[in-house]
Amino acid sequence: MMLPNFKKHLIEKGGLSEEEFTQIEPFITTKNVDKGEFILKQGDVCSHFFFVEQGLLRFYALNEDGKENILQFATENWIVSDRGSVYFKAPSTYYIDAFEATTVVMIDETFIDQVSELNPNFRKQNERLLQNHIRQLYKRISQLLGVSAKTRYLDFVAMYPDIMLRVPQWMIASYLGITPESLSRVRKALAEENFNPYKTS
């Protein structure tokens, strides 16, 4: 099973050794998701966290008019899930689908227990990742409530440097909570400042 991104994630962020990864490898479950295929729909109970080994997922809700509000993109090395649905075993109000053909690692509580039994430090590291995710959510809420469209866009470019050529502009606008027209104005103004979103390093 060739999962270089997931292996690197468990070793660098989960604290596992090469030998420990080899031992848990038989317990790893993957899923290939076709472009346009859903891995979570509104009303389903989400039972996994999805680590993106290769590809691109989007996590979104529908408003009263049926319009998509994108909460998160998940590219390689990102984890996405409806954590509330997983924890409370409650029907989800969200959707997760693949915008590209995607390979995900399916992480559930059983897998977390198995890895934690092998390496007790793993659960602590996993908790740290969860807290960092919550911190990022708070930051995103603050931005949507009180930060300019320009600042939101610049933060998006910094967070998702590899996604600009992979999704259409209307999806980026949806994530930012602005109209595509507003996004075009922001991009035009930044272009006049010689800002190139494809060269962020």
Q: How many domains does the chain contain in total?
A: 1
Residue 111: which domain range?
A: 4-119
178 is written with which tokens?
């602005």
Is position 32 within any domain?
Answer: yes
Is position 166 within any domain?
Answer: no
**Element spanning 73, H or E:** strand 68-74
Is position 13 within any domain?
Answer: yes
Is position 124 within any domain?
Answer: no
Is position 67 within any domain?
Answer: yes
pLDDT tens for each residue of the chain, 201 residues long: 689 999 999 999 999 999 999 999 999 999 999 999 999 999 999 999 999 999 999 999 999 988 999 999 999 999 999 999 999 999 999 999 999 999 999 999 999 999 999 998 898 888 888 888 889 888 888 988 899 999 999 999 999 988 988 999 999 999 999 999 999 999 999 999 988 887 655
Q: What is the pLDDT of residues 54-65, one digit of tens each?
A: 999 999 999 998
What DSSP state is assigned to residue 42? T
CATH number, domain of 73, equals 2.60.120.10
Is position 160 within any domain?
Answer: no
Q: How far is CA 118 from CA 19, 24, 92, 109, in A?
A: 11, 8, 32, 14
pTM for this prediction: 0.92
Helix then strand count (H, E) for the chain reads: 8, 8
